Structure 1
Amino acid sequence: MKILLSLLLALAPCFVCMAQTNHMQWNTAIEAFESSDRADPPPQNAVLFIGSSSIEHWKSVAADFPEVKVINRGFGGSELGDSTYFADRIVKPYHPRAIVLYAGDNDLYNGHTPQQVRDAFSAFVSKVRSFDPGVTIAFVSIKPSMARKMLLPKIKQANELVREYASTQKNVAYIDVFTPMLGADGQPQPKWFIEDGLHMNRTGYALWIGLLKPWVDTHGR
């Protein structure tokens, strides 16, 4: 029994990760995107913003980057692997000029390792490049939220691994929002977030706009 218990405890993180690979839980959200695309076809050669709730909640993203065409395909709660899984449906049809990706936050929260976050981003790049070889991609670093302060060491490690990976790839950028969002004490700051301490307020998005705008304007036109 002791041996069995030890094995179950050792495998517990794996079971958590396996539970999160149910990509079809997001199918309703993807179908809503497809329905919207049929009713009002999005622009080709736009900048595609994709990923989890930080993208989904960014309702003003098109107005915030007026110099370029923008498509928002964020779906809250998703992991990096979900964007890869649905890329044939919410990336490929748009033939985007550039992609801004924010995800990985939920991966770590759901028990994935920093190395798995890096590998999941690499898989996204490979998937997208399989049908759009020349598209440029920016990974927005995982933010230091108040609600997930306990994950700060893993967030730092995941961000560094992604940054290192991006530096070895052509037309793949790492955009650091993590460092500017920390306080002088190196800790997450409440001023960027709404009451839940996880999702950003307008001040947080204003910071992101300033950090992303040079890359978006350069690669989106």
Structure 2
Amino acid sequence: MNFPRAVLSILRLHQALTTLHPLPPRPSRFSLPLQLALAGALGIGSLATAQAETPAASLAAPTVQLAVAAPASPAVALPPVARQLAAVDPRWSSSFEAFAAADLKQAPQPGGVVFVGSSSIRLWNDLETSFAEQPVVIKRGFGGSQLLDCVKLVDRLVLPYKPRMVVVYAGENDLSEGATPRDVLERFTAFVRAVKADLPESRIAFVSIKPSPSRAGMLAAVRETNELIKAYSVTEPSLDFIDVFSSMLGADGQPRPELFLGDRLHLNAEGYALWQRIIALHLKG
């Protein structure tokens, strides 16, 4: 059997290379008798011996081995990422510093009542003592805030205290800043979901938005918002709607000015006394 000199040279080069850098065994395209005959005809005795000892070796020209990345390992199931505490707006930094200092001095016992919301909660000076029948009352109001802010900061305002009940007064500032009644409803439902995700047994009570004389132009939006949230609260057994709005209107259907400070926006002592009587009825049990 005659082979071109170039073929013989290639095969001898292959023999030398595989001697120095053996390739991993791979199935041959030739039967063993044909491999031995071919090796003998070429006069490559050592190759013939190697083929006899390792039938799987191939006489085919060496192939280029490409570096292929190993398959990626299955994704490791990571534990749920803890919610990151929302950054506090600089307007309320002093309030939240005071909350932290109070908690550090004496951490409230779980199972209490937490009041959250805007300045109507913050300015209620005797709130903690106004509900003496409650073993634990925690005030977490921050002035100028919206219900949207209560949603963002629920991890700071509510969850650490593990309350049995959360009382919310917020939404008035949302309307004042351009939110619609339905926006406020959606923000309240988001607040409820955020609380219930961690504290499914806690009750949540929404204090109706008050009829502030200085915001008389919002009265229709306030009424609509209150009705939307009241209707939503009926659908959830763990929700409560506390109506202070109706009692704050006079016989003429207008806000009672004697319940407010001179700014016609914030409550005076008589206004808070009215709130206390109404809210206390909803904290029993």
Q: Please state if 1:161 is matched with 2:228.
A: yes
Of structures 1 and 2, the larger Rg is shown by 2
1:1-221 alignment, distance < 5 Å: 24-25=89-90, 26-68=92-134, 69-218=136-285
Q: Helix, strand or coil for the counterpart of 1:41?
A: coil
Shift of 1:99: 0.7
Counterpart-to-counterpart distance in 1, 2:101 and 2:131: 25
Shift of 1:195: 0.5
CA contact (8 A) 1:145 1:188 kept: yes
Percent of residue pairs bearing the same amino acid type: 45
CA contact (8 A) 1:80 1:103 kept: yes
Q: Closer, same or farther in 2 for the Cα pair 1:23/1:104, shift >3 Å?
A: farther
Structure with bigger helix share is 1
Shift of 1:35: 2.4
Counterpart-to-counterpart distance in 2, 1:179 and 1:90: 28
Shift of 1:45: 1.1
Counterpart of 1:66, as a letter, is: A
Ranges in structure 2 where 5+ consecutive residues have no aligned partner:
1-86
Counterpart-to-counterpart distance in 2, 1:194 and 1:27: 26
CA root-mean-square deviation: 1.3
Q: What TM-score does the superposition give when structure 1 sets the normalisation length?
A: 0.86
CA contact (8 A) 1:23 1:82 kept: no
Q: What TM-score does the superposition give when structure 2 sets the normalisation length?
A: 0.67
Shift of 1:163: 0.5
Counterpart-to-counterpart distance in 1, 2:177 and 2:155: 25
Ranges in structure 1 where 5+ consecutive residues have no aligned partner:
1-21
Counterpart position of 2:51:
none
Q: Which has the higher contact order (CA 8 A, sep 6+)?
A: 1
CA contact (8 A) 1:105 1:142 kept: yes
Q: Helix, strand or coil for the counterpart of 1:147?
A: helix
Deviating more after overlay: 166-175 vs 23-32: 23-32
